[in-house]
Amino acid sequence: MKFLGRWLAADKPTPAAVGNNTTRQQGALAEDRALAHLQAAGLRLLTRNYRTPGRGGGEIDLVMCERDGTTVFVEVRSRASQAFGGAGASIGAAKQQRIVLAARHYLMRLASPPPCRFDVVLVEEAQVQWLKAAFDAQ
């Protein structure tokens, strides 16, 4: 019986693990909402959660294509409320640099890089806000 008690205790997720899964799930739901919003506007999904290899690289939530062939690198940010500046305030210079790094890595794979831009989709409470050309590659 003692062994069974230890096994059951070890099998339970820790509070931190439960919190991470919930946050990850909320992020995935926000990405789903952003993707649906962009597709409704006529954009086509090229890839989702594009990551550069290795540590310290970047990640792009959604890589989309406009009807005119422009590649759109999309960062999706979600917050439950607008406190502390809301979702948009969480995209600082360091985050932008990691997104640009990942975009350059993505574009290196292509024979002829298309025109591109960096958009942000904010998912806050019940609203989806699409910010076209939210920042530039530096």
Which CATH number fits the domain that encloses residue 14? 3.40.1350.10
- Domain carrying residue 89: 2-135
How does residue 90 score in pLDDT terms, banded at 50, 70 and 90? Answer: low
Spatial CA neighbour of 60 closest among 126, 117, 130: 117
Between strands 44-51 and 59-65, the pairing is antiparallel
User: H or E segment at 121?
Assistant: strand 116-124
| Chain segment 2-56, per-residue pLDDT in tens | 433 333 334 444 444 444 557 888 888 999 999 999 999 999 999 999 999 877 7
Question: Using an 8 Å Cβ cutoff, are 118 and 62 in contact?
Answer: no
Strands (E), 34-87: 44-51, 59-65, 71-79
Q: How far is CA 63 from CA 21, 48, 52, 102, 113, in A?
A: 24, 6, 13, 11, 14
User: H or E segment at 105?
Assistant: helix 93-108
Spatial CA neighbour of 50 closest among 86, 95, 102, 111: 102
| Chain segment 54-81, per-residue pLDDT in tens | 777 789 999 999 999 999 999 999 876 5
| Chain segment 98-137, per-residue pLDDT in tens | 999 999 999 999 999 899 999 999 998 778 999 999 999 8
- Give pLDDT, residue 20: 54
Domain total in the chain: 1
- Give pLDDT, residue 87: 52
- Give pLDDT, residue 5: 39
**Contacts for 80 with CB less than 8 Å, ≥ 6 apart:** 124, 125
